[in-house]
Amino acid sequence: MNRDHFFTIGADVPFNRVSPKYGVKEVLASMIFLVPMFIAALVCAIIFTADVPWLHLIWIAILAYGIASTIIVLRQARAIGYAEREDDLLIRRGIMFHKATVVPYGRLQFVDVDAGPIDRIFGLATVKLHTASAATDATIPGLPRAEADRLRDSLAGLGQANLAGL
Amino acid sequence: MAADEPEQNTEEAAASALPESAEAERSVHAASHSDVSDALEGAAAPEIWHRVHPLTPIIESLAVLVGIFIAAAYGLQNVFQNAVEDLASGRSVDLTFAEWIGGHPLAILGIVGGIILILLLTAMFSWLAWRVMGYRVDAEAIYYRRGLLSKKLRKARLDRVQSIDLQQKLLPRVLGMAELVFDVAGGSDSNISLKYLSKKRAEELRDELLAAVRAKKRTDTAGTAGPDRPSAGGPSAADLSVAGPSGSGAHAAQALPEAENAADIAEPASSGVDRSVPERRDDSIGVRLSKRLGAMADDVSHEAEGSLNELLAPYNLSTSVGKEGEIIRVPVHRVVVASLLKPETLISAAVVVIVIVIAIVLMAMGIKEAFIPMLVGVLPGIFAAFSVFRKNLDNANFVVRLGESGLAVNHGLFSTSRKVIPLDRIQAVCLYQPLLWRWAGWWQAEYNIASAGGDHDTNLLLPVGDLDQALLMVGLALPDPQLDEGVGADTLVRSAMYDRKSADPNAAAAEAMFHPQPRSSRILDPFVWKRRAYALTESLLVLRLGAFNRRVDFVPHVRVQSLRYHQGPLMRALGLGSVAVHSTAGPVDPRVTHQSAEDAKRFFTEHAERTRLARQHFDAVTKDAKTGQAAVLEHSPNPAEEDER
């Protein structure tokens, strides 16, 4: 895929991507609200087309928004990367807004694995890392379930090993 | 411990720890009460419940009594007022009610009897309520029970107790009483407040329990399942070792991973200082100082002064230690003036004045309708300003004392509160100077702490103080900055405080340590871009912030949680990047803002490495100390076997 989705952060490590299904899942999740709205707007516009012709603008706007957000979401999903380094986990995401988070294993308090209903249809899960700081926003969405469990166990083990030195 | 929720759950179930408020508070039926407590403990220890002071129910119900009294006074006053008015106007006094009473002596008897009956019932109820109020301390936890009809039993595990504060509200203070507040890591609701005890008893109990908490945490941390090490406080020893070695042994082994983690996040013995570990270079200077003081004999003000000045040598301070180890005293008038000069006070005062002026102008123009709504608007403002002011006054008489358990703080104008600043749990420190404090040269110091219930009011290191006091408190709360030769820590901090206006002779060398923001950031930070900068020492990150209200943040490398690099579209157009340094919740939110993108990225990667090395070094020293100690103790079970899954 196109490499330019990744901005460089100065750390020379290979980044793992999240599952390609994640983008599809995000699009589907946004469609759950957009499609009924679109249909309702379209039906209204067709019914009242004689009286208020500008009603057509609404479904056009919703359609445009849906297309734009689909493109953005798909690109965003490809831009998420994470790297398990020797002593810390590096996560980066964002195309417009570049964000990179580094969480040392020794600082991990606990690791969450979440899977919502749509996640489960696609066999995906979200891994969330917690430290003592509420500001730490380290989530890796859209991992295949097995990979998420492996990552959780691996992080737990690494956290334990690093904490043993305390 | 990380990610081991299931294991942690079973562990908690085994120790039947109920740390959170919701579970901690449980209603226990009267009959089965003792059985439940036994089950909680898992040890057939005899229960000794201590009673609280007999005046407690009266103090607690005093509000109701005062209410009744006021209502009665109001009624009587009405009757008298009517009588006086009648007399004044020459009419005959309306005596129908008095006549009626005179005609029915039984009514008088009934009223008097009723009053006596109510008083008796109240007294009896108070007595009964007092009988069931009590507290108990064993080797595991502190229990507090109360309630006549619905029984309540609260339990705080000793190893979860973060601090023990002695609080005296106005009325109890008049009567010589105090309450002990146990801060348990957990929601704000999870505190146990033991009330009321005579002040002397409260102080004794506090010292006993502090020693017990410290001993408990030490044994857990060192991983010794054996008997408690001899703790200070003779009378407490009998109470505290009740549970016996079998119960506490099993528990200590289970609690170990948690305690190890706690060593870093919710540092053990937070109310005092964990002395099981020798001085570490990256400990804050205050912690090192208390470790030294702990090793000395009592009555050490002379030596304390020597140690203090030796450890604070980088700051070139000469502090004198006063009576009872007093190092800082903030007088009332300074707190009053300082709080009046705070921007929030000034703004609310300005709003009130403007509204009043507008009201007067409108009145003069004859528009009376606007007056009432304006009054309604201005009253809450006045109340808000007043409550802020009162909160500030709570910091009057702020006295910091140096003791072997760390820095003890007394503060309060009408009611005195005491607390211990948990130096070993401080994660970050900031200095703050509102615009108008500049003429006086005052600074405020606050800190971030590793605690679940972060409360901003209690995070004060110094409510207001001059430069030397600010340097002293910041110096105590932070590790030795470990600067190169030639630049003193005080020079660096002054440069951080006063940027290029620092009057220090060595200011140029210190200024060279700061990395300023590039010129392109002036669009994003028009006022502050020249002042904002960061500096790194071997052990600290220093951030210089705030153009009008000056601010300096300090983050020790060993305390950094995680890092985050951020760049939005506008910042990318200007070639800038920001890095947030994540600390625990509190007044300090350190960020290295709007550096050039390469610098920000380099800082991000290098700081991750820097903090890792600092942490590694810190842990290594701790580990050495712990293994050294474990070798001394003949019998130490290997907790690793239980941890592995």
**Cβ neighbours of A134 in B, within 8 Å:** 584-585
Shared-domain flag, residues A88 and A8:
yes
> Are the beta carbons of B137 and B236 closer than 8 angstroms?
yes
Rg, Å, chain A Cα set: 20
Q: How far is Cα B126 from Cα B144, in angstroms, rounded to an integer?
A: 18
Q: How far is Cα B492 from Cα B483, in angstroms, rounded to an integer?
A: 9
Instruction: Pick the more confident residue, B122 or A76.
Output: A76
pTM for this model (two decimals):
0.66
For residue B237, what is the enclosing H or E element? helix B234-240
Which residues 6+ apart lie within 8 Å of B484 measured at CB?
none
DSSP H helix total and E strand total for chain B: 22, 21
B211 — contact with chain A (CB < 8 Å)?
Answer: no
Q: How far is Cα B393 from Cα B387, in angstroms, rounded to an integer?
A: 10
B622 to chain A, minimum CA–CA distance in Å? 7
Maximal CA-CA distance, chain B: 98
Q: How far is Cα A112 from Cα A152, in angstroms, rounded to an integer?
A: 8
Number of neighbours of residue B516 by Cβ within 10 angstroms:
17
Q: How far is Cα B366 from Cα B370, in angstroms, rounded to an integer?
A: 10
Shared-domain flag, residues A96 and A41:
no
**Cβ neighbours of A6 in B, within 8 Å:** none
A136 — contact with chain B (CB < 8 Å)?
Answer: yes
A21 to chain B, minimum CA–CA distance in Å? 26
Closest to B3 (Cβ–Cβ): which among A8, A106, A159? Answer: A159
Cβ-in-10-Å burial (0-12, 13-18, 19+) of A14 comes to exposed
Q: How far is Cα B602 from Cα B521, in angstroms, rounded to an integer?
A: 18
Q: Do A136 and B562 touch (CB under 8 A)?
A: yes
Q: Look up residue A19 and give its DSSP letter.
A: P
Question: Is residue B497 left, alpha or beta, with left meaning phi > 0 and alpha meaning psi from -120 to 50?
Answer: alpha
Q: How far is Cα B296 from Cα B402, in angstroms, rounded to an integer?
A: 13
Shared-domain flag, residues A37 and A115:
no
Shared-domain flag, residues A120 and A138:
yes
For residue range B495-549, what is the model confidence (pLDDT) as tens digits? Answer: 899 888 888 888 888 888 899 999 999 999 999 999 999 999 989 999 999 889 9
Q: B584 by DSSP, 3-state: which? A: coil
Q: How far is Cα B283 from Cα B556, in angstroms, rounded to an integer?
A: 9
Shared-domain flag, residues A118 and A140:
yes
* The domain boundary residue, chosen from A76, A106, A123: A76
Q: Buried b vs exposed e over B484-508: b needs ≥16 C-beta within 10 Å? A: eeebbbbbbbbbbbbbeebebebbe
* Angle, helices B244-262/B199-222, rounded to nearest 10 degrees: 80
Beta bridge pairs of residue A111: A129
Q: Which of B416, B401, B427, B425 is nearest to B553 (CA)?
A: B427
* The domain boundary residue, chosen from A61, A76, A91: A76
Q: At B401, phi and psi to the nearest 5? A: -120, 145
> Are the beta carbons of B242 and B601 closer than 8 angstroms?
no
**Cβ neighbours of A164 in B, within 8 Å:** 260, 640
**How much is the pLDDT for B339?**
87
**Cβ neighbours of B623 in A, within 8 Å:** 165-166
Edge-to-edge order in the sheet of strand B152-157:
B26-27, B152-157, B141-146, B134-137
Domain carrying residue A149: 3-17+81-164
**How much is the pLDDT for B74?**
80
CATH of residue A122's domain is: 2.30.29
**How much is the pLDDT for B4?**
38
Shared-domain flag, residues A98 and A124:
yes
* The domain boundary residue, chosen from A76, A91, A109: A76
ipTM for the whole predicted complex goes beyond 0.90: no
Q: How far is Cα B301 from Cα B403, in angstroms, rounded to an integer?
A: 9
Mark which residues 74-103 of A lie under 8 Å from B by CB. 87-88, 96-103
Closest to A166 (Cβ–Cβ): which among B263, B577, B604? Answer: B263
- Beta strand spans in B392-453 (E): 398-403, 406-411, 417-421, 426-433, 443-449
Cβ-in-10-Å burial (0-12, 13-18, 19+) of B268 comes to buried
Closest to A107 (Cβ–Cβ): which among B562, B569, B580? Answer: B562
Q: Do A136 and B616 touch (CB under 8 A)?
A: no
For residue range B305-317, what is the model confidence (pLDDT) as tens digits? Answer: 777 777 887 887 7
**Cβ neighbours of A160 in B, within 8 Å:** 1-2, 4, 257, 643
Q: Buried b vs exposed e over B284-318: b needs ≥16 C-beta within 10 Å? A: bbbbbbbbbbeeeeeebeeebbebbbebbebbebe
Number of neighbours of residue A43 by Cβ within 10 angstroms:
11
For residue B176, what is the enclosing H or E element? none
Closest to A135 (Cβ–Cβ): which among B567, B580, B608? Answer: B580
For residue B352, what is the enclosing H or E element? helix B343-364
Shared-domain flag, residues A62 and A142:
no
Token pair 């009043």 is at which residue? B356
Shared-domain flag, residues A67 and A118:
no
Q: B586 by DSSP, 3-state: which? A: coil
Shared-domain flag, residues A30 and A12:
no
Shared-domain flag, residues A92 and A156:
yes
**How much is the pLDDT for B256?**
32
DSSP H helix total and E strand total for chain A: 4, 7
Q: How far is Cα B577 from Cα B604, in angstroms, rounded to an integer?
A: 10
> Which tokens go with B208?
């006993």
**How much is the pLDDT for B443?**
94
Q: How far is Cα B473 from Cα B446, in angstroms, rounded to an integer?
A: 10
B620 — contact with chain A (CB < 8 Å)?
Answer: yes
Q: Domain total for chain A?
A: 2
Q: Which of B208, B152, B161, B207 is nearest to B182 (CA)?
A: B161
Q: Which of B247, B276, B246, B245 is nearest to B262 (CA)?
A: B276
**Cβ neighbours of A96 in B, within 8 Å:** 568-569
Q: How far is Cα B63 from Cα B583, in angstroms, rounded to an integer?
A: 42
Maximal CA-CA distance, chain A: 76
Which of B561, B598, B641, B644 to mutate: most A Cβ within 10 Å?
B561
Q: Which of A86, A100, A1, A149 is nearest to B562 (CA)?
A: A100
**How much is the pLDDT for B631?**
56
Shared-domain flag, residues A89 and A156:
yes
Q: What is the mean pLDDT of residues A32-43?
A: 92
When the pLDDT of each residue in chain A is averaged and rounded to a whole number, the result is: 85
Low-confidence ranges of chain B (pLDDT < 50): 1-44, 186-188, 223-272, 297-298, 454-456, 633-645
**How much is the pLDDT for B93?**
63
**How much is the pLDDT for B485?**
74
Q: Buried b vs exposed e over B420-450: b needs ≥16 C-beta within 10 Å? A: bbbbbbbbbbbbbbbebbeeeebbbbbbbbb
Shared-domain flag, residues A111 and A42:
no
Q: How far is Cα A29 from Cα A19, in angstroms, rounded to an integer?
A: 16
